[in-house]
Amino acid sequence: MKSIRHFRELDVYQEAMSLVMRITELTKGFPSDERFALTDQIKRSSRSICANLEEKAV
């Protein structure tokens, strides 16, 4: 079993970051009237997963 030296090495963190990037790409195709409300909320919630993992690891 390899030792983890940084939270960015965690599989769950890497998966969460992949989802953030995918969500960013998907929301680019949302209608312009949704871009500032729904899109912003979706992006912020996906980024908060990574932030929470980082906070717990420190």
Radius of gyration of the chain (CA): 14
Confirm whether 47 is domain-assigned: yes
Confirm whether 2 is domain-assigned: no
Q: How many domains does the chain have?
A: 1
| Nearby residues of 43 by Cβ (< 8 Å), 6 or more positions away | 20, 23, 24, 27
**Residue 2 pLDDT more than 80?**
no
As a whole-number percent, the residues of the chain with pLDDT over 70 amount to 97
Residue 26 lies in domain:
7-57
pTM above 0.95, yes or no: no
Q: How far is the C-alpha of 22 from the C-alpha of 26, rounded, in Å?
A: 6
Give the model confidence (pLDDT) of 6-31 as tens digits. 888 889 999 999 999 999 999 888 88
Confirm whether 1 is domain-assigned: no
